[in-house]
Amino acid sequence: MNGLKARRPRTGAAGVLLRIFGGVMVIWLLAPILVVIPLSFTGKQSFEFPPTTWSTEWYHQLFTAPEWVEALTHSVVIALLVVVLAGVLGTACAIGLDRGVLPGKAVVRGLVLSPIIVPVVIVAVGVYLVFLPWRLAGHELGFVLAHTALAIPFVVISVSTSLAGFDRRLEQAAASLGASPWSTFLRVTLPAIGPGIFAGAVLAFITSFDEVVTALFLSTPTMKTLPVQMFQTINNVDPTIAAASTLVLAGTAAIMLLVLIFNRNVRSGS
Amino acid sequence: MITRVDTDVEKDEMSGSTRGAALGLTGLVKRYEDSVAVDDVSLEIPAGEFVTLLGPSGSGKTTTLNMIAGFTQADEGQIQLDGKAIDRVPAHKRNIGVVFQHYALFPHMTVEDNVAFPLKRRRMAKAERATRIDEVLDLVRMKDFVKRYPRQLSGGQQQRVALARALVFNPRLLLMDEPLGALDKKLREWLQLEFKRIHQELGITFVYVTHDQEEALVLSDRIAVFNHGKIEQVGTATELYERPETLFVAEFVGESNCFKGRYRRDGDLGIIASEQFELRGPAAHGGDDPNAVLVVRPERVNIRRDGISPSNGANILQGTVKQVIYLGSARKTEVVLSDGRELVVRESASVGTGPAAGQPVEVFWAPDDSVLLTGGASVGPDLDQLANEVK
């Protein structure tokens, strides 16, 4: 009875206050992000808000101006490579930490997860100093390696959670039914931890795609990612940056929506 | 149906005329960091037998099963299937069916795909596979559920699918690890009969693990009682119940009344005595023993009344009825003996009305209806452990 009552929407003064508070919080969190959308359709080369004239000029700019097209391409290619690399390594690492019998597992886990805790700027300086003599600074591979290190923790955490809920006896069952260890991994373990790997891969993509600190260190005038390009254009009054932001926003929202739909399907099993 | 299975078995290059495989365990030992889980276990199981490994949790029965399945490597000893050592054969090449307590069905596959899994691993042709799946689902009576996912089935249904999956590739040995542990009593009793029927229909060897002594008695041709990693006794249900060789077996399998005392031989009989009593039983194997136990089952003890009186040589004790428990088919009377010790009597409920609580009674039984245990056999089970186990 009480449980049912508690679930009913609140009415009265408390309920009204709660709604107002909730609404304010949503506006406070979203408004600065959403400002870029109208701004990207402005008709003038200015950051005047709200815009007084309208055009799609800046989107045209984004998809035709060489520096923007290149930056966007670099970002997408790097992020996709990071997804593959961090996905495979992170999954392998999570499995190793779950099943391995190696001593000092806690230390290994700590080291693998450290990029989340260590300030990114320190990582960036370190990476830069190491990559410079190796000629990896300003090279696509350098970006991929640096971003992979930053993205692996998200994959490890996500896959570890999946593994924790995985019944190891399913693997014993598969073995007793004649499946080799590799076949068992492909047909039983992988499908079970698939949602975890997928979630980790999405996080890895986003981590790489909007990473700016190490990218700034590693970039050169000809080799930069979208966030670096945006960061460097902010001093010029160029609304293309708003168009780029809107694109990233839409892309991220689309990915998150995809994850939601995917998770719902996994849960309902259809 | 049965003949169908027969031809399939032969086609699957199964040797000889027997459908089951003989299993031999010799001196199996499994140690963990600071304990010995399985301590020198040897057991011969002839082809086609239904053997139960019975014991409390931590007694080594599941570890033994895991070693047979190949999930755990034995530290010492040998496992033989039809005379061939399989210790170095990995689990996926042993061709042994395994049924788990929590079913272990693959959640992302339908019933059909679960049952098809072992056949696909063996690269069986699609048409043949369909026939085989049909047969085995018919055997476990789950034909109407082929397109369902495991989570859409009840526990009992899931376990029947798991059984079908473990049988579909015609293993000659089936291992079952507490398969009914997660199910309610009614379903458990029904599935026990199903297991028995399937065992008889297929004729393959079953090795069954349980901590439930009643289940073991219902199902098995023979039972191996495990305690502290060792086998205490192997025998048929009747042998274990009527002639337990150790106090552990006497107390774990069925209920028993135990009297500890000094043993000495007296002609054909054995005498067990303490300050409070002197009882006669069948002569024990060994010589005199200050730490012997006389075991008598509750249904072997009688309460003296009109028409029921002791014959010559019976053991007779005086006491007072503490309480009477009506069990439907039977009646259990708890008696406090004159020395304060308690004794349980079990009678058929149809035998008149028994004495009420508080009444003085005389209980008696014939010496041949009891068992005398001497030597190391009189070490009883860890009662705390049993209390946790037998719910």
If you measure CA to CA, which chain A residue comes closest to B71? Answer: A172
On the question of pLDDT at B390 being above 50, the answer is no
Q: Which of A169, A180, A269 has the CB atom closest to B92's CB atom?
A: A180
Nearest residue on chain B to A171, alpha-carbon basis: B104
Using alpha carbons only, what angle is made at residue A266 by residues A263 and A268, rounded to the nearest 5 degrees?
110
- Return d(Cα A197, Cα B11) in angstroms, integer: 43
Tell whether the torsion through CA atoms of B278, B280, B284 and B287 is positive or negative.
positive
- Contact at 8 Å (CB) between B215 and B180? yes
Mean local confidence (pLDDT), B239-250: 91
Residue-level pLDDT at B7 = 36
Identify whether A30 is part of a domain: no
pLDDT at B378: 57
Q: Of chain B residues 88-117, which have a CB less than 8 A from chain A?
A: 90-98, 100, 102, 104-108, 117
pLDDT band of B82, cuts 50, 70, 90: very high
Mean pLDDT of B338-344: 88
Query: CA-to-CA distance for B144 and B375, rounded, in angstroms?
Result: 57
CA atoms of B300 and B236, how far apart (whole Å)? 20
In chain A, the largest separation of any two C-alpha atoms, in whole Å, equals 71
Higher pLDDT, B158 or B5: B158
Please give the order of strands across the beta sheet that includes B330-337.
B302-303, B360-365, B315-326, B330-337, B342-348
Contact A179 B90 (CB under 8 A): no
pLDDT tens, residue by residue, B120-149 = 999 999 999 999 999 999 999 899 999 999
Residue A20 lies in a domain: no
Q: From the CA of A267, how many Å to the nearest CA of chain B?
A: 11
Q: Give pLDDT tens digits for B83-125.
A: 999 999 999 999 999 999 999 999 999 999 999 999 999 999 9
Considering the domain boundaries, does residue A234 fall inside one? yes
Report the predicted TM-score, pTM, of the whole model to 2 decimal places.
0.80
pLDDT for B4 beyond 60: no
pLDDT at A34: 87
- Closest partner residue to A175 (CB to CB) among B91, B107, B151 is B91
Chain B residue closest in CA terms to A188: B106
Residue A11 lies in a domain: no
- A269 contacts B151? CB cut-off 8 A: yes
Residues near B239 by beta carbon (within 8 Å), at least 6 away in sequence: none
Task: Please give chain A's pLDDT, 270 residues, in tens.
Answer: 444 444 556 678 888 999 999 999 999 998 888 888 998 998 888 888 888 889 988 999 899 999 899 999 999 999 999 999 999 999 999 999 998 888 888 899 999 999 989 999 999 999 999 999 998 888 899 999 999 999 999 999 999 999 998 999 999 999 999 999 999 999 999 999 998 999 999 999 999 998 999 999 999 988 999 999 998 888 888 889 999 999 988 988 888 888 888 777 766 543
Q: Is residue A57 part of a domain?
A: no
For residues B70 and B88, give the distance between their C-alpha atoms in angstroms, rounded to a whole number. 9
Cβ <8 Å between B106 and A180: no
pLDDT, mean of residues B219-224: 96
Number of structural domains, chain A?
A: 1
For B201-210, what is each residue's pLDDT tens digit? 999 999 999 9
Q: How many Å apart are CA B282 and CA A258, to the nearest integer?
A: 78
Torsion region of B139: left, alpha or beta (phi above 0 gives left; psi -120 to 50 gives alpha): alpha
CA B60 to chain centre: 14
Whether A251 is covered by a domain: the verdict is yes
In which domain, by residue range, is A138 found?
66-269
Is residue A133 in some structural domain?
A: yes
Please report, for the domain that includes residue A167, its CATH number. 1.10.3720.10
Kind plus residue range of the DSSP H or E element containing B334: strand B330-337
pLDDT at B305: 83
Query: What is residue A1's predicted lDDT score, i.e. its pLDDT?
Result: 42
Q: Can you tell me the mean pLDDT for B346-373?
A: 86
Span B171-195, pLDDT tens digits: 999 999 999 988 888 889 999 999 9
> Are A158 and B85 in contact, with CB atoms under 8 Å apart?
no
Which of 172-231 (B) contact A at CB < 8 A? none
A49 lies in a domain? no
- pLDDT score for B130: 94
What's the rounded Cα separation, in Å, for the pair B108 and A195? 12
β B315-326/B360-365 pair status: antiparallel
Contacts of B206 (CB under 8 A, 6+ apart): B49, B50, B51, B173, B174, B176, B195, B199
Chain A partners within 8 Å of B162 (Cβ): 173
pLDDT given at position A267 = 60
- The phi, psi pair for B265, rounded to 5°, reads -90, 145
Residue B5 confidence (pLDDT): 39
Q: Provide the number of CB pairs (under 8 Å) joining chain A to chain B.
A: 67
Average pLDDT score over residue span B318-337: 90
Judge: B104–A169 Cβ closer than 8 Å, yes or no. yes
pLDDT at residue B3 greater than cutoff 50: no
**Cβ separation of B94 and A176 shorter than 8 Å?**
yes
Alpha-carbon span B294 to B69, nearest angstrom: 39
Nearest-Cα distance to chain B for A171, in Å, is 9
User: Using a CB-CB distance cutoff of 8 angstroms, which residues of chain B are in contact with residue A166?
Assistant: none
Q: Say whether A265 sits in a helix, a strand or coil.
A: helix
